[in-house]
Structures are given as C-alpha cells and as structure tokens.
Chain A
Amino acid sequence: MTAPSKPQTDVESAPTAVAPPPSWRRKATPYLLIAPALIYLAAFFAYPMVQGLILAVYDDEALLPLIAEPDITSAQTGKIPQGTAITILARQGNLLTEELSSDLLIEVWFQVEVAQADGSAVTGWTPESRVRIREESAEGDPLAGTIRTKLSSTADPLTDIYSEPNERSDVLAQVEPRSAARIVQTAELEVWFQVRAEDGTEGWTPSRFVQVFGDEETGRVDRGTAGEFTTRFIEKMREDRFFGSAWRTTLLLMALILPLQFILAIIMALVIHARLKFSSLFLYVFSVPMGMSDLAVGILFFSIFTGNGLLNSVLDGLGIIDSPQAFLTAESRNWIIFAIVLAEIWRATSIVMVIVVSGLQAIPDETLEAAELFGATYWQKVRHIMLPLLKPSLQVALILRTILAFQVFAVVIALGGGDVVTVLANETFRQYFALRNTNVASAYAVFILLLSIGSAVFYLRAVRTQAEMAAS
C-alpha cells in the first residue's frame, strides 16, 4: 500500500533530502540514533513498571509444592498455601543443588574410611554426629576421628555406614564404637522434611520453606515457590490504618497548594516578563528553589517552624508571644499542614513559573502592542490576551504539578515526622522500608500511578471539551 513517490512529496522531509546518502541508510539513521534511549527506557522503565503492576496483584510465594520423594526430580503430590500448619513426619539431609547464602537448616555428613573388626576397611557416609574428631587441618577441616559410642543402652551399639549421605541409602557396613575413621570428605546437606498439611496432603519439602516450632514436630509453611494472582495486597492496603488518612491528606495538600501556587507562579512570570532591570538576577532568585531537593526545603521550613526556630524567635522579639509555641507536634496537625503548604509553594512554584514564562515568550509582541494601541490596560491585557493564550502552558504545568503532588514525600517527613500527617508516598515507603512488605508497597505505588493517570486524563478532557464547546 505504500506509494513510492510519497517521501518526495513530503515537504517536511526536505532537510534530510539535501545530501542524499543511500536511502536505506537515511531511513535507518534516526532509528539507530534513538535505539539506545529506547532500549534503556524499555529496560529501566517499561519492564520495572510491568513488574510493579504484577507485584501488586501476584504473590509469587503463595503456594508450596510438595513432592513424593525427597528428590527434586520426583513427582509433585500437591500444593499447600503459605501459612498452612504442618506436621513433620520424617527428615533427611539432601545435597544442596544450588549455592544458597541464607542460613539454612543443614546437616553435615562425613565420608569416612573406617577400619572394621575383621581388619578390612570400608568407605562410606555417616552423619557428623557419629564421629568424634581427633585431628584437624590447619584450616580447621576435620581429618580423622573415631566412631562415637552410643549413649542409649537400648540402641544398636554399632554405627551404620551408608553408601550415600542419607539414611535412606544402602547400609554398607556396621562398625564398632571407637573404630578409627579417616575423614575423606565433608558434605553439607540441607534438611528436608516429609510433612502432612492440615488438609491431609503429604510430601517432602526442603526445610528452608517451613518454619519449625519448638516441639520439632509441628510447624507452618513460611513461603512457597509457586505463585498465584491475589487481591490480598490491595485489600491489605485498603485496610491499612494509615491508608485513609494518607490519601485524604495528599488530596487536601493538593487542593491547598495548587491554586495558590498557580496564582503566585503567574505573578512571578509576569514580573520576569516585564523585563525589569536586573531581570536576569530576579530570574536566578525565582528559579533557585527549583533546583532544591524536597528534603532540603523540608528542613528549611522545619528550621522556621520548630520550637526554637525563626518564627517563634521573631514573634517573641515582637512581643506577640511570651513562650515558644509548639507548631510541629502531634497536637498541632493543622500547623504542620500549614508549614507543608508553605514549603511546597516555596519550592515548586518555580517550575510552574518557568513553564508560564515560556508560554508568555511565545505570545507575539505585536499582539500585545495592538491591544495597547486600542487602549487596553495592563490588567485587560493579562485577562483577555495573556491568560487565554497561556492555556496550553497552564494545562501542562497543572498535569505536571498534580502528578508531582501525588509524590510529595520528604517535605512531609521533615516537617511532621510522617505519623501525624502522612501521605501516599510516605506509606509506600513505610510498607517497603519499615514493614518490609514489598507487595503492599507496590499496591500503594500502583494506586499513586492510577491517580496520576486519572488526573492527567481528566485535565486533558476538561480542556478539550472547552475547545469543543468553543468550536460549536
């Protein structure tokens, strides 16, 4: 369906058509140039994004598969959910199939060469507990020892030597207590349990997935290895005691901050646009907060509002108060919110101002001069020419600021500690950092994402319908 003559008729592609390299190269060049950026954003943006969505609704440790034999290759007997109470029926050590750094429940077995009563030697495996070590290498590795005597009088006094490092393997020989044993090698084995679940499912599992209670016979499933989709994390988020307060405060802050911020930003932009003397210096001062972290600004306003801070000192100096007021304590929630609002207006108005100034610069001087010729006052110019022409800029700034407002974080921590006044980003952090609950943290993150997308769509729609109304 592609017409070969189309590129020639496309006026916009004219610049690249001037010095024509081979056409396939010309076509491929832009794609090669954007490829690194695309790959990077796919790897560190799109992929984690999808992972985040999955984390919020998928529990990858939900189910523990049990297998028929203590052998990874054996058939699965069933899956039991995380948290299930279990009874331990048997235990056995198994060679570790992978390198695991965590503190596993392990058994140590020695491969020993033991002198038998008849003088011949047998080589086989026996648990560490059956050998008293008599000789160690310089590094502390056991080299030789003797077979221990069994303490219980009813037990078989002989010690079994197995063909493999587990008790289910063939018994090669039975040796006398106190026989000399040379230790050929040492094996660290992970303990496996044969368990019975509440629902009667029986099977083997590595001990790392279960938690054993003090009686050594019962326990529960600590985590599984198979996943399932679940709304559990979302429900947990909704039932979280901070959830309601977090989203309400986030919205309240937004409702208080954004209008004031936009009025101030437009005023600042008009001041910059008035091309005063030292305009460049004013631009520097006005835009400096833009490069500051929310944490630093939080601390800045903390230094003002704290008990022995600037505000109290000034009020005291003016004789308005006798003793320092507590602005930032658990009892003064409204003052904390007031301080956060001031801090956010102080910090984040610059970015709106820059966007508005850019919008103002795009308005042709002729338009304003024409208005002046017709006797428009400054206020009339602002009201009837600048503001309507600024609409697209304001829309972008509004979307940007709203999305950033959903993420307000460090300012809140610095001024309120994060308990009395809490916001969505802070709860995400709490779930992740303090409660170590990655999935619920992801649920919070997805909630913020949905709010952000929702508000962006809302703003875009609102402006479009206005445009459509104007067109009709």
Chain B
Amino acid sequence: MAIQNPPPPAWDSPEVSAQHEKMRAKGARGRIGTYVLAIGIALWIILPIFFLFSMAFTTQETVRSYPKNILPLVPFSTDTMQFFLQSDGVAEGLVNSIIVAVITLVLSTVIAAPAGYALSRFFFRGRDLFRLSILAVRAFPIVVLSIPLAVLFLRAGLFDSIFSLALMHTALALPTTILVVASVFASVPYELEEAGQVFGASPLRAFRYIVLPLVAPGIAASSVFTFVLSWNEVFAASVLTLENRTLPALVLTQLSQSSDAYQFAGGFFLMVPSLIFMFFIRKYLFNMWGQVSK
C-alpha cells in the first residue's frame, strides 16, 4: 500500500500565518476572559465566606455595630468565637457531632467496601438491579426517612441517642460510599491482582499488598466525604435527637433565640470541616459524582 504524502506544509504562506496570528490573538483574549470569569466566580464564593469569617473573629460589639467596617477583621479578636464555643450545649453538641460522624464514617466504610468491591470485580445475576437501586436510594429524600425512623427508634427505646442518629446517617451515606468504592476499585486493573497471584501470592495477600495501597487514598477521600455529610446533616439530627443534639441541630433550634454573634460564629464553625477537607478530596469529587451519569 502506497503511503500518501501529507500535503506540503505551508507555514510560511502569508495568508496562513496571518490567520494563525488572528487565532492566537483571539485565543489569548479568550484565555484572559476565562481567567477573569474564573476569578469572578471564585470571588462570588470566597467573599461571603470571608465576611462570615471576619464576623466570627471579632468583638461582639463589632458584630452588633452598624454600618460595619468594610475592611473586615478590624479589630481581630477571638471574642465572638469564644462566646459561641462557651455557650450552653455547644461543647456537648460538638462532641456528639464528632462521635456521630466518626461512627458513620467507620460503619459506612466497613459495610460499603465489600459491596463496592463486588460491584467492580464480579459479574453476578442482579448486579445491574443492585446498582440501579443504589442509584435510586442515593437520591432519596432525607425528610421522608427521618420521621418513620424517629417513630421506630422511639418504639425501640433508641430515641434521642446519638448512636441511632449515626445508624441513620450511615443509611444516608451508604449508597454514595458503595458507588465511590466501586469506582475506586474499578480504577485499579484486575490484572495487577492477577499478576500478584501468578507470582504466588494468595488472593488475600495480593489484595492486601497490591490493591489496598492503590485504593486507600480513594477510600480515605470517600470516608472524609462521609464525615462531612454527617457533620452537615441538619434535618434528621433535629428530628431524631432532643437532648443529645448534634451541633447543627443545636444551632438550628437556637436560631430564633440567639444573638447574631452566636449565629455568625456558629455558622462559620460549621463550615470549617468543609474548608479543610474539600482541599484534600477535591480530585476525588469526580469519582464520587462523575459516575452517576454512567
């Protein structure tokens, strides 16, 4: 078969270079425009957070004052935040929130990991049905689940317990965690496991020394996301607890009877895990939510 020569390059022709010049200029202009857009959107997100941050770390007089100084963080003080953290129930709420989130994280990871592995490595009858029902369950309204669970927990004598709330949060987090774990396992080719077994490792050993190190970061990211999900959850927490409030449930029920200082500091405090953790898991977000469309 004769190989056809590509048409002779015409880089030097004046028309083409003029065309290129135009495109490059247009591209550069487009690029600058994109940066402006990106910075604009970033400011739309950052500025409100920064304002709340400046309200959380100033004196209570500044929070009450009007008009507020457009220059934030003047004067800087931990007064507002301290006032919030020392308010009634906040310390307990914080401890409750962390306990619930940690139980949820552990429970959902432990239950979801095998299911996610099965979903990514095995073809079995009912696999598509299982996958579809998990997709459906994930989009399920929390509101709908909370009321009957509250009634059931009440009957079982588990009401107003942070452990029953953790059970509920696990049910909420489980579908997402299963899908994320499945996508993380799917990104590690089965051939690696196979190779390990060919060289004499038992399936379990191959899993432990080859697959686990590769999937650990992804599963850690999904656990972190589960933690944040539980930390943020307001509705179920308000319905399922009464005395043993988690932090968001406490802040929500205090809204109508608390000062601006309490609310602003509380609001910012609730945002902190997101600000920290999203930085570490941002690359995995697409693993988490990308595959829903597949």
Contact = CB atoms under 8 A, between A and B. Distances in A.
B290 A48 contact: no
B267 A296 contact: yes
Contact of A27 (B31, B124, B268, B275): B124
Contacts of A13: 123
Interface residues of A, number: 105
Interface string B129-160: 01000000101111111111111100000000
Given A36-B115, A410-B235, A312 B66 contact: yes
Interface residues of B, number: 101
Contacts of B143: 406-407, 409, 424-425, 428, 445, 448
B5 interface: no
Contacts of A77: none
Interface string B225-266: 100100111110011000000001001100110001001101
Contacts of A37: 111-112, 114-115, 174, 178
Contacts of B231: 293
A404 to B, nearest CB: 8
A44 B149 contact: yes
B3 interface: no
B278 A403 contact: no
Contact of A44 (B34, B171, B232): B171
B35 interface: yes
Contacts of A264: 41
B282 A284 contact: yes
Given A30-B127, A52-B148, A36 B114 contact: yes
Contact of B141 (A12, A406, A429): A406
Contact of A308 (B65, B122, B168): B65
B199 interface: no
A361 B290 contact: yes
Nearest to A21: B203
B203 A55 contact: no
A171 B62 CA distance: 80
Contacts of B11: none
Given A45-B137, A295-B248, A308-B65, A52 B145 contact: yes
Contacts of A290: 274, 278, 285
Given A284-B282, A449-B141, A292 B271 contact: yes
A393 B278 CA distance: 22
Contacts of B168: 44
A411 B267 CA distance: 12
B139 A317 contact: no
Contact of A16 (B122, B137, B251, B252): B122
B167 interface: yes
Contacts of B235: 407, 409-410, 425, 429
Contacts of B222: none
A284 B276 CA distance: 10
A373 interface: no
Contacts of A274: 31, 34
Interface string B275-289: 101110011011011
A442 B147 contact: yes
A427 to B, nearest CB: 10
Interface stretch (A122-130, A173-181, A253-261, A349-357): A349-357
Nearest to A431: B147
B49 interface: yes
Given A15-B190, A299-B264, A308-B64, A286 B121 contact: no
A310 B51 contact: yes
A303 interface: yes
A49 B38 CA distance: 43
Contacts of A19: 194, 197, 203
Contact of B145 (A48, A268, A361): A48
Given A295-B234, A298-B267, 7 more contacts: A34-B130, A38-B130, A45-B140, A290-B285, A299-B52, A438-B147, A456-B139
Interface of A: 10, 12-13, 15-16, 18-19, 27, 29-34, 36-38, 40-41, 44-45, 47-49, 51-52, 55, 264, 267-268, 271, 274, 276, 280, 282-296, 298-304, 306-310, 312-314, 316-317, 324, 346, 351, 354-355, 357-359, 361, 378, 392-393, 395-396, 399-400, 403, 406-407, 409-410, 413-414, 417, 424-425, 428-429, 432-433, 438, 441-442, 445-446, 448-449, 452, 456
